[in-house]
Chains A and B, each alone.
Chain A
Amino acid sequence: MAEIALEHITKRYGDGYEAVKDLNLDVTDGEFMILVGPSGCGKSTALRMVAGLEDITAGELKIGGQLMNDRAPKDRDIAMVFQNYALYPHMTVRENMGFALKLAKTPDEEINQKVTEAAKILDLEQHLDRKPANLSGGQRQRVAMGRAIVRNPSAFLMDEPLSNLDAKLRVQMRTEIARIQQRFETTTIYVTHDQTEALTLGDRIAVMRAGLLQQVGPPSELYGHPKNLFVAGFIGSPSMNFLPGEIDGDSIKLPLGTFRIPDSVRSRLEAGPGGGRKGVVVGMRPEDFEDASIVGDRGQGITFKAKIDVLESMGSEFYAYFVVQSERIASRELEELASDAGGADLPQQDGSQITARLDAASTVSQGQDSELWFNTDHIHLFDPESGQTLLGSNGAAAA
């Protein structure tokens, strides 16, 4: 068991490209830390530097208080689960799982016992004598996990361990990983590009973009109080909606309508860095929209009319998509998010696409003008130029 400290870690390649820039991250003992971000953000590189598979250009890496920069991977007492599992094809499941112990010259008896124990936890007992080629994807993934846990290392490093599984198995293995981590209470760094995995698994999440750490915090904090447009747009599914707005004294003018700034937002805006600013980007979570006809008290919010382009039924709720006429928000961060999600390939529309999550009891229908309501209590405000949040954190933010 050990804490992992990354202090001013930088990775620069021979051609001058910086994959990771001045990364500071403290992973406490037993913590499940998620590194998340779009592809190419440097999260895997950071993980591989912790593993010792990649040299650290600058900064210090400490595991359990000891400087690890120049130690070989084998001397770091860590176990890693690779994206493609990297099982040894010429060894049986048993040999795969016992390989590390064998290298450490553990007595055969003990190896056998530990492998059997791990196999029991992972439900692999009847497959111990098979070769990886004869296993299904989920079983291979479990063997990779087993290889990590038999060693009882001071840290688990996982590099997108679920991305090769189909959707259903992924959800299953996700809970499995959470259970294993809780059982062993081993410090874990888990890399993923899937924000759902990040939100569900992590004690804390570190969001990275273009080699830079954007925000670290527990899932609720990242979801409720994103520090910038990038984190706001990346965390949450469906993702946050953004509209250009204008602060006019006590109220905010949106293409949807004008509303008075709620007191909770006002106090945080005053505590924030960008007081007195006029043009803002307003962020709205899909779940803060509702079918106006089923909202009892419309006090804190605005009611507006929209033509629903597409209505998707999820059974327990509806996703309604509509377009609001507005200027385009020019933000590099949002463009990056869109291109990561494949949105850049979609035809450009005039105005802003909005996603609303409506209750299953809603009566709106596709292609119809419908009356929707939006709860202004939970809006997020961002600086259109820097992308930073304009809301300071108060008592509520720390929750």
Chain B
Amino acid sequence: MESTFQKRLGWTGAVILIGLFALVPVVWIISLSFKDPTTIGDGNFFPTKVTWDNYNSIFSQSIFTDALRNSIGIALISTVLAVFIACFAAYAIARLDFPGKTILLLASLGIAMFPPISIVGPLYNLWRNIGLYDTWPGLIIPYMTFALPLSIFVLSTFFREIPWELEQAAQVDGATPYQAFVKVIAPLAAPGIFTTGILVFMICWNDFVFASTLTSTNSAETVPAAIAAFPGASQFTEPIGTIAAAAVIVTIPVIIIVLVFQRRIVAGLTAGAVKG
């Protein structure tokens, strides 16, 4: 009895510790976003004077609102395109036997593992030369390159779990292979497609390396890159308050998505990994 109580105590302690470790930085940045410039450096954990100025200021600056628009647009387009293409690729990998299937899967995994920083330099030069620098496609293309392999990998596990007979039944019922896919397979794979979409969206949404290198103006800069370029009140002040406020704003959609869909994301990531 006592041992279970001690165990419980130990676990509670550990959970609290980990929770603090994870949450303190988040609370700290929220706290910073409510401090006014005079108290920003006072080192107090909670703001002594709460102000909404930082939020008002970022939403009145076009650098942030434009960046928000770019972020949403670029992330959404990349996600939709990547998931759409990955659907077909993953379906082929799950269903068809063709030479080089394993190599294709390994290669796509390899690309997903590639450090973005190593290709961002050459890409910068290339984009400058062909006119993709500082444009939406200029970011969408590299995002898709990195999102596709992951999507294909996750989606093919989903497709593999759908009984093949369903598709054959549809074919015998008079469906073309395309109809069988759209009317039978895709609806059943919907949770998987959804999960993949969320994962891809977060990758694009959070990216900093590509965004900061391949964009320079309001026309394509996304929020993470724009935050880094926030102007201070004067040449000698760091715009800490506004950076904190912007960071809080961009985190909100991600937190909402994760909270709403956390079960699905976990199921998606582990699909096929556990079940024999």
The interface of chain A, by Cβ under 8 A from chain B, is 51-53, 72-74, 78-80, 82, 84, 86-90, 99-100, 103-104, 147, 151, 157
Closest 9 CB pairs of A and B: A100-B173, A86-B169, A86-B165, A74-B174, A73-B171, A103-B174, A80-B172, A73-B172, A90-B187
In the complex, the answer to whether B179 meets A86 with C-beta atoms within 8 Å is no
**Is residue B176 contacting chain A, with contact meaning CB distance below 8 A?**
yes
Q: How far is the CA of A99 from the CA of B184 in the complex (A)?
A: 10
Nearest residue in A to B177 (C-beta to C-beta)? A72
In the complex, the answer to whether A82 meets B165 with C-beta atoms within 8 Å is yes
Known: A89-B188, A90-B188. A82 touches B174 (CB 8 A): no
Identify A53's interface contact among B171, B175, B179, B187, CB under 8 A: B171
In the complex, the answer to whether B176 meets A86 with C-beta atoms within 8 Å is no
In the complex, the answer to whether B172 meets A53 with C-beta atoms within 8 Å is yes
Identify A74's interface contact among B163, B165, B171, B188, CB under 8 A: B171
Q: Give the distance to chain A from B187, nearest Cβ to Cβ, in Å.
A: 5
Q: How far is the CA of A51 from the CA of B170 in the complex (A)?
A: 12
Identify A99's interface contact among B165, B170, B176, B187, CB under 8 A: B170
List chain A residues, Cβ under 8 A from B171: 52-53, 72-74
Q: Within residues 145 to 196 of chain B, which ones have a CB less than 8 A from any CB in chain A? A: 163, 165-166, 168-176, 179, 183-184, 187-188
26 pairs from A and B in contact (CB 8 Å cutoff): A51-B172, A52-B171, A52-B172, A53-B171, A53-B172, A72-B176, A73-B171, A74-B173, A74-B174, A74-B175, A78-B172, A79-B172, A82-B165, A86-B163, A86-B165, A86-B168, A88-B166, A88-B184, A89-B166, A89-B188, A90-B187, A99-B183, A103-B174, A104-B174, A151-B173, A157-B172
Q: How far is the CA of A41 from the CA of B183 in the complex (A)?
A: 34
In the complex, the answer to whether B174 meets A86 with C-beta atoms within 8 Å is no
Nearest residue in A to B179 (C-beta to C-beta)? A103
Known: A82-B165, A86-B163, A86-B165. A99 touches B173 (CB 8 A): yes
Q: How far is the CA of A89 from the CA of B183 in the complex (A)?
A: 12
Q: Give the distance to chain B from A94, nearest Cβ to Cβ, in Å.
A: 15
Q: How far is the CA of A100 from the CA of B176 in the complex (A)?
A: 11
List chain A residues, Cβ under 8 A from B173: 74, 79, 99-100, 103, 147, 151
In the complex, the answer to whether A53 meets B168 with C-beta atoms within 8 Å is yes
Q: How far is the CA of A80 from the CA of B169 in the complex (A)?
A: 7
Q: How far is the CA of A151 from the CA of B172 in the complex (A)?
A: 11
Extra 6 A-B pairs, beta carbons < 8 Å, given A53-B172, A88-B184: A72-B176, A80-B169, A82-B168, A86-B169, A103-B174, A147-B173
List chain A residues, Cβ under 8 A from B169: 80, 82, 86-88, 147
Nearest residue in A to B171 (C-beta to C-beta)? A73
In the complex, the answer to whether A100 meets B168 with C-beta atoms within 8 Å is no
The total number of A-B Cβ pairs within 8 Å is 57
Q: How far is the CA of A72 from the CA of B184 in the complex (A)?
A: 18
List chain B residues, Cβ under 8 A from A52: 171-172
Q: For this complex, into which size category does the number of interface residues on chain B fall?
A: 10 to 19
Interface centre among A73, A87, A100 (most CB of B within 10 A): A73
Known: A89-B188, A90-B187, A103-B179. A84 touches B174 (CB 8 A): no
List chain B residues, Cβ under 8 A from A103: 173-175, 179
List chain B residues, Cβ under 8 A from A87: 169
List chain A residues, Cβ under 8 A from B166: 86, 88-89
Q: Give the distance to chain B from A371, nearest Cβ to Cβ, in Å.
A: 55
List chain B residues, Cβ under 8 A from A86: 163, 165-166, 168-169
List chain A residues, Cβ under 8 A from B184: 88
Q: How far is the CA of A78 from the CA of B168 in the complex (A)?
A: 12
List chain A residues, Cβ under 8 A from B183: 99
Nearest residue in B to A80 (C-beta to C-beta)? B172
In the complex, the answer to whether B179 meets A84 with C-beta atoms within 8 Å is no
List chain B residues, Cβ under 8 A from A104: 174
Nearest residue in A to B169 (C-beta to C-beta)? A86
List chain A residues, Cβ under 8 A from B188: 89-90
Q: Give the distance to chain B from A159, nearest Cβ to Cβ, in Å.
A: 9
List chain A residues, Cβ under 8 A from B179: 103
Q: Give the distance to chain B from A14, nearest Cβ to Cβ, in Å.
A: 9
Q: How far is the CA of A84 from the CA of B172 in the complex (A)?
A: 15
Interface centre among A72, A74, A89 (most CB of B within 10 A): A74
Q: How far is the CA of A79 from the CA of B169 in the complex (A)?
A: 9
In the complex, the answer to whether A74 meets B187 with C-beta atoms within 8 Å is no
Q: Give the distance to chain A from B60, nearest Cβ to Cβ, in Å.
A: 48
List chain A residues, Cβ under 8 A from B176: 72, 74
Known: A51-B172, A74-B176, A103-B175. A84 touches B163 (CB 8 A): yes
Q: Give the distance to chain B from A110, nearest Cβ to Cβ, in Å.
A: 15
Q: Give the distance to chain B from A70, nearest Cβ to Cβ, in Å.
A: 15
Q: Give the distance to chain A from B271, nearest Cβ to Cβ, in Å.
A: 16
List chain B residues, Cβ under 8 A from A88: 166, 169-170, 184
Q: How far is the CA of A82 from the CA of B165 in the complex (A)?
A: 8
List chain B residues, Cβ under 8 A from A151: 173
Nearest residue in B to A74 (C-beta to C-beta)? B174
Q: How far is the CA of A99 from the CA of B172 in the complex (A)?
A: 11
Q: How far is the CA of A100 from the CA of B175 in the complex (A)?
A: 8
Interface centre among A51, A78, A103 (most CB of B within 10 A): A103
Interface centre among B166, B168, B173 (most CB of A within 10 A): B173
Q: Within residues 114 to 168 of chain B, which ones have a CB less than 8 A from any CB in chain A? A: 163, 165-166, 168
Interface centre among B172, B179, B184 (most CB of A within 10 A): B172
Known: A99-B173, A100-B173, A147-B173. A73 touches B165 (CB 8 A): no
Q: Give the distance to chain A from B163, nearest Cβ to Cβ, in Å.
A: 7
Nearest residue in A to B164 (C-beta to C-beta)? A86
